[in-house]
Amino acid sequence: MPYTPPLDELRFLLRDVVGFGRVQATGRFAEATDDVAAAALAEAGRLCAEVLEPLRRVGDTQPARLENGVVRTPPGFAEAYGQVARGGWVSVAAPPEHGGMGLPVTLQTAVNDMMSAANLGLHTCILLSQGQIEAIAAHASDALRSVYLPRLISGEWSGTMNLTEPQAGSDVGALTTRAEPNGDGTYAITGRKIYITYGDSDLVDNVVHLVLARLPDAPAGTKGISLFLVPKRLPDESGAAGVANAVSVSGLEHKMGLHGSPTCTMEYDCATGWLVGEEGGGMAAMFTMMNNARLAVGVQGIGVAEGATQAALAWALERRQGRSPLPDGTGAIVDHADVRRMLAAMRAETFAARAIALSCAVAIDMETATGAPEWAARAALLTPIAKAWGTEVGHAVAQEAIQVHGGMGYVEETGVAQFARDVRVAAIYEGTNGIQAMDLVGRKLADGGEALFRLLDEIEAGAEAARGSLPALAAPVWQAAENLREATEWMIDQPLQERYAGAVPFLHATARVLGGHAHLAAALAGGEARRALAGVYIHRLLPAHDGLLAQARAGSEGLYALSPGDLAAA
């Protein structure tokens, strides 16, 4: 089925739910008017529907491949990427002084949402370039910025992130890639990196790698890691891609899904690189790119949820099975209560996750525009939630779309199974969702919960204000926020091990409450359909937060009561 960009929903969320008007009211983003935003989203949506989505299935059935050391992308990908680059969609939020649009991250997030729905396999390349642009702009020297930023922003070159090694996955501190000074300001980078998305491709003239490596005599662990910029081709005197660097691809991963996106094993054999940031500051510099990518990956999940929901609804409107329970029914399966339940939950979950991601983007833009520490704290708090919950929703909704299709969902010819296969990795890469949850209950509650409590104050105030007009929706949201407040107070008093044991259900419960807040705001601002959808979420989905908080407070003792041997015997 064709993809329809959710332009009305995005505009509604920006205007009435997530407070994008505050971003527009700042001097930094005053040019991002309603007209500009609407025009940008409409054009990006057209590109997604007409150019990117028709290639989604092509990327699945004709995967990227490695030929004589060169990665070949699926048919049509290069031409489609060219249209993305020429339209400026790689660089919506990139600095204008280097050729970017300079628009808010919130609009970039909305564009990423649509691109992810249309063609996740191609969007992964764009996502990584966006993160690298931000990292280079924040940490690289002026000389590196002047050469690399214009070409990354234009899409002429693409960017990657090189952290993982065979022995160093989430434990980045265990990496062994070496960086030896060459004596001329450059470094010789030697090592192997795995799981490198778009480590090479025929989409661009040059691929720019940000590589974590150790300098001689660097201390063990993350404190001894530095960040280096290593291009596939060394720039010549004019800055164009020149001679080949000592960088190669030795293999591609054979994956469950996301076949259109090449996942490479990279070999660095005394490759020439440049230091980005300070010696030993590699993780801090890379976290700039990782945080950018974490929000974008959460949005990938949301985009897939949108695509899967649209596919499931189209099927349910056409598929005739059994007798309609409705006197004026169409005879299609959409008339059946359980199918209607699944579709309503899919739409409600997607809306809530999208609201969380856009709220995170608004906080990032407000931090950029004002420098206020309260906005910085909110952006930091919402980032792991947006990443983890967006990808959890993407996975769950994709699975539900298969269920709506029945047996045909399990048959590849419908194409709906691709959504589930493609999105599964999003809960794993850019920091597994368990790591996001531990970040939430660890670093993000290190302020004594101040940032989260401020957010809960807003949720409760909003629910109080809505009691007069929508009491049946407002009361459960207020109570859920109060339950989360009490659980947060408990969590803050626990040692880290106890927090970590309940981190994932705590994050899920927090996301549930944030989703209720968003739906209540939508019900207040929208019409009957918005109120009905809010009712589905608040009465059917929000109650799960209570059980999740009980899990979060169960502690670690019961987990360790079972030894590995007990688990095997069970």
Greatest alpha-carbon pair distance for the chain in Å reads 82
For the chain, domain boundaries = 433-562
SS3 353: helix
User: Rounded to an integer, what distance in angstroms lies between the CA atom of residue 462 and that of residue 517?
Assistant: 8
| Antiparallel, parallel or unpaired: β 206-214 and 157-162 | parallel
Beta bridge partner(s), residue 157 = 206
Query: Which pLDDT score, from 0 to 100, does residue 329 have?
Result: 87
The helix (run of H) or strand (run of E) holding residue 263 is: strand 263-276
- Positive or negative CA dihedral for 292, 295, 298, 299? negative
Is 430 assigned a catalytic role? yes
User: Rounded to an integer, what distance in angstroms lies between the CA atom of residue 70 and that of residue 387?
Assistant: 32
Question: How many CB atoms within 10 Å of residue 539?
Answer: 12
User: Rounded to an integer, what distance in angstroms lies between the CA atom of residue 229 and that of residue 277?
Assistant: 10
Residues in the chain: 570
CA 259 to chain centre: 18
SS3 450: helix
User: Rounded to an integer, what distance in angstroms lies between the CA atom of residue 91 and that of residue 97?
Assistant: 12
Contact 262, 71 (CB under 8 A): yes
Residue with tokens 């299935």: 57
For the chain of 570 residues, list the mean pLDDT of each consecutive stretch of 10.
93 98 98 97 98 97 95 98 97 92 97 98 97 95 96 97 86 87 97 97 97 93 93 95 97 97 98 96 87 94 98 96 88 95 98 98 97 97 98 98 96 95 96 96 97 98 98 98 98 96 98 98 97 98 98 92 84
- In degrees, rounded to 5, the angle at the alpha carbon of residue 200 between the alpha carbons of residues 128 and 430 is 30
CA 312 to chain centre: 23
Query: Which pLDDT score, from 0 to 100, does residue 213 have?
Result: 95
User: Rounded to an integer, what distance in angstroms lies between the CA atom of residue 304 and that of residue 400?
Assistant: 12
**521: exposed, middle or buried (Cβ count in 10 Å: 0-12, 13-18, 19+):** buried
Kindly name the residue from 430, 450, 458, 486 that is annotated as catalytic. Answer: 430
Question: How many CB atoms within 10 Å of residue 410?
Answer: 12
Cα–Cα distances in angstroms (integers) from residue 538 to residues 35, 58, 522, in the given order: 33, 39, 12
Which of 5, 113, 19, 47 is CA-nearest to residue 393? 113
Contact 200, 264 (CB under 8 A): yes
Which of 423, 208, 404 is CA-nearest to residue 310? 404
Query: Which pLDDT score, from 0 to 100, does residue 322 have?
Result: 83
- Positive or negative CA dihedral for 40, 41, 44, 49? negative
The phi and psi torsions of 199 (rounded to 5 degrees) equal -60, -20
User: Rounded to an integer, what distance in angstroms lies between the CA atom of residue 198 and that of residue 188?
Assistant: 22
User: Rounded to an integer, what distance in angstroms lies between the CA atom of residue 385 and that of residue 433?
Assistant: 9
Output Rg (C-alpha) for the chain, integer angstroms: 24
